[in-house]
Amino acid sequence: MQNSSFEVINLSFESATAESYDNHAIAKVNDHEVRISTMTEAYHWHCHPDSDESFLALEGGLFIDFDDRTVELLPGHMITVNRGVRHRTRPIGQRSVNLTFERAGARSERLTSPRE
Q: Which amino acid is at 57?
A: A
Q: Which amino acid is at 12?
A: S
Phi, psi of 40 (to 5 degrees): -120, 0
Using DSSP, state whether 62 is helix, strand or coil: strand
Q: What is the pTM of this model?
A: 0.90
pLDDT averaged over every residue in the chain = 94
pLDDT at 1: 54
Segment 17-28, tens digit of pLDDT? 999 999 999 999
Distance (Å, rounded) from C-alpha 90 to C-alpha 72? 10
Average pLDDT over residues 41-52: 96
